[in-house]
Structure 1
Amino acid sequence: MPYFSIIIPVYNRPDEVNDLLESLSKQTYKDFEVIIVEDGSTVCCADAVKRYASIVDIHYYYKENEGRSIARNYGLERAVGSYFIFFDSDCVIPEGYFEALNAVLNRHYTDCFGGPDAAHDSFSDVQKAINYSMTSFLTTGGIRGGKVQLEKFTPRTFNMGFSREVYDRVGGFREMFSEDIDMSTRIRQAGFDISLIRDAFVYHKRRISMRLFFRQIYIFGMSRISLYLLYPDTLKLVHWFPACFVIGTLAMIVASFFWWPAILPLAMYLFAVFLVSWCVNKRLKIAALSVVASIIQLGGYGMGFLKAFFYKVLLGRGRDEAEEVRLRKGK
């Protein structure tokens, strides 16, 4: 039996799955199986699976559309490995990923881990800018695997793994937004170790347009309040930063009509984003797009956060939702 079982939920992403499987076929360490769960797609990836079936140990399942969490749990129920790995279908895996991961687990075994993500050279300028805004300390406080972090590291399912023992005790994913943060929190509460393995990174394509990025990040902001209702002690100061950015930006814009220097703190912050991105990505266009992506990332998250906080916390409309989530077993 393979040691690792890679579980990938898919919805209408045949091209991305082809790139993902190609990268898995080139791994220097091959003791793994790949379980692809097609979650009711109208554009299937079956052809891509057939293309690599003779190279990679792939198990392909098609089921009706029920959501990412249920698709992952469907794969978990059919996995035979001792350690489960989760990737998003729009990831590309460096060829040394599993060799590096296996080496770390042999030296310092951990029950659950997460790895960071990066932008591949082949990605578009927009994707690189979005990747910067999602990983920079200036925008996210390093909570997605940065070298400096403002809170405990929480694995995300674009690059996450845990042991069969974890699954047997904690169960699978619950169907909800930010289901990976919920899962990581339940794993930590059950007493398991969680580690960041920086060498086990993936290339994450993310959204291909700023419009889609805003929609995604807005939902992230709303789901943070849902997580707060489930786990009140998990809401940290860093999670308030985007909301403060929204409120502060509006206040500075209004104040600048009466006293123009009021806008300078915002301008200086955005210039810092531009400068750091330029140093990291080595291109002025990506640096400029990084400013736009960072405004969307902070503004979208902050607006979703504030809206959910008003309705679910101040008006008390989130209590029933939180109780309903608690009753879900994650199976």
Structure 2
Amino acid sequence: MPFFSVIIPLYNKENYVENTIKSIVSQTFTDYEVLIINDCSTDASVAKVTPFVSEKIRLIHHDNNKGLSATRNTGIKNAKSEYVAFLDADDLWKPTFLETIKSLIANFEDARIYATNYQELYFDKTLKPLNGSENFTENFSVYINFFKTNLKQGIYNHGSVCFHKNVFQKAGLYDENIDFAEDIDFNIRANYHFKLAYSNSIQMSYLMQTENQLTTSSILNKRLPNFDKYEELTIDNFSIKKYLDFERYVLSKHTKIDGDINLSKKISSSIDFKNLNWKQKILLKLPISLLQIIYKTKLFLVRNGLKFTSY
């Protein structure tokens, strides 16, 4: 049985998936299997990955397009290992990613979630996320409280995390009824039940310029998560309430930028505004036109290597 199962959800990533696979086969820790789950790609993605298929790298096909959550769930159900990691088909691992995760597993026995820091690639620029990792020294490893720490950009993303299979058995699989922020929905359940061991070393590259990342496309046609269903978890845990309000803020702002004021108000109605900072409160009150200008300005600056945030 391999030590790690690595799952690659694949849908129309012909221009990127080869480099993604190469970043896995270049790992210094080599006891792994790779499961590429093809979600009915319509481009040349399958042709790009077929030469890599071997005893160690499997290609599994969906009969119809099911979405990211279902694709990840298929990988989990077919994984042979006790430890499951994910890498989207347009992202990259540093050669020592699995080695770093293996070290976290060995050194943090009470954890069942293991994650590293990451970097963002914007065309020809590499930027660090504004995710709170600046509060840790470089290469520092520690148990962290996900809900207290994760009030900016993600302290990890789904290409820089590994889960023990017990997490899926206890927290459940990815919700196939939503197709936006499904990672966040799963993270809430996973981190409520299990401890997180974290390495501040940058072990993953998140490509922001691809079709599914740096975009101004609307989310109004997406099935969004309902954070209200997790309110019962906040009764004896204030940090979860603050985290849920932060994610509601992000979702409310996004839907307002997309032009749906009623949906934005519905989402924000569950927010305890004491849990937001002054910048976040102001942004939610701004008219759509001004909020859209700020958002487009932010995208322009990011493309030129400058980042600012309301976090």
- In structure 2, distance between residues paired with 1:201 and 1:245: 35
Structure 1 residues 174 and 108: alpha-carbon distance in aligned structure 2, compared to 1, 3 A threshold? same
Does the Cα contact within 8 Å between 1:115 and 1:198 map onto a contact in 2?
A: yes
Are residue 147 (structure 1) and residue 156 (structure 2) matched?
no
The CA deviation string for residues 55-101 of structure 1, in whole angstroms up to 9 with x for no partner, is x8211011120110101111111110110001111111111111121
Spell out the pairing of 1:27-38 with structure 2 (5 A cutoff).
27-38=27-38
Number of equivalenced pairs: 250
Q: Give the 3-state SS of the residue equivalent to 2:9 in structure 1.
A: strand
Which amino acid letter does the alignment assign opposite residue 217 of structure 2? R
Q: CA deviation at 1:12?
A: 0.2
| Structure whose residues are more often strand by fraction | 2
The letter for the 2-side match of 1:82 is E
1:58 aligns to 2:57 (yes or no): yes
The one of 288, 299, 304 equivalent to 1:286 is: 304
Aligned residue in 1 for 2:159: 158
* TM-score, with structure 1 as normaliser: 0.63
| Aligned residues of 2:114 and 2:163 also touching (Cα < 8 A) | yes
Aligned-partner Cα distance in 2 for 1:229–1:236: 10
Describe the SS at the equivalent of 1:214: coil
| More displaced 10-residue stretch of structure 1: 94-103 or 31-40 | 94-103
Q: Which amino acid aligns with 2:187?
A: S
Q: Find out whether 1:13 has 2:13 as its counterpart.
A: yes
Identity percentage of aligned residues: 21
Q: Is the 8 A contact 1:49 1:58 kept in 2?
A: no
**Residue 236 (structure 1) aligned with residue 250 (structure 2):** no
Which amino acid in the other structure matches residue 166 of structure 1? V
Q: What amino acid does structure 1 have at the position aligned with 2:148?
A: E
Structure with bigger helix share is 1
Long gaps (5+) in structure 1: 137-141, 254-265, 278-284, 303-331
Does the CA-based 8 Å contact 1:12-1:42 persist in structure 2? Answer: yes
Is the Cα–Cα contact under 8 Å of residues 156 and 181 in structure 1 kept in the other structure? no
Residues 82 and 222 (structure 1 numbering): CA distance in 2 closer, same or farther, change over 3 Å?
A: closer
Give RMSD over aligned pairs.
3.8
Question: Which amino acid is the alignment partner of residue 149 of structure 2?
Answer: K
User: What runs of 5+ residues in structure 2 fail to find an aligned partner?
Assistant: 137-145, 232-240, 254-279
Deviation per CA, 1:186-226, whole angstroms, max 9, x where unpaired?
A: 1233x31123332362111123479952227x57x994xx4
Question: CA 1:192–1:247 in structure 2 vs 1: closer, same or farther (change >3 Å)?
Answer: closer
* Correspondence for 1:139: none
Max Rg structure: 1
Q: Given the superposition, is the C-alpha separation of residues 186 and 77 from structure 1 closer, same or farther in structure 2, using an over 3 Å criterion?
A: same
Distance 1:147 1:236, change over 3 A: farther
Within 5 A, what are the aligned runs for 1:137-286?
142=131, 145-147=133-135, 151-153=148-150, 155-175=156-176, 176=178, 177-189=180-192, 191-199=193-201, 201-208=203-210, 212-215=214-217, 223=224, 226-232=225-231, 233=241, 234-236=243-245, 240=249, 244=281, 246-247=283-284, 286=304
Distance in 1 (CA, whole Å) between partners of 2:244 and 2:27 is 38
Letter in 1 for 2:191: R
AA in 1 matched with 2:228: L
2:85: which partner in 1?
A: 85
Deviation per CA, 1:273-308: give whole Å up to 9, x if none.
97xx8xxxxxxx834xx35xx5xx87xxx9xxxxxx
**1:248 Cα deviation (Å)?**
6.5
1:102 to 2:102 alignment: yes
Which residue of 2 is the match for residue 24 of structure 1? 24
Q: TM-score, normalised by structure 2?
A: 0.67
Per the alignment, in what secondary structure is the counterpart of residue 77 of structure 1? helix
Distance 2:247 2:38 in 1: 35
- 1:43 is displaced (CA, Å) by 1.2
Corresponding residue SS for 1:14 = coil
One-letter amino acid of the counterpart of residue 178, structure 1 = A
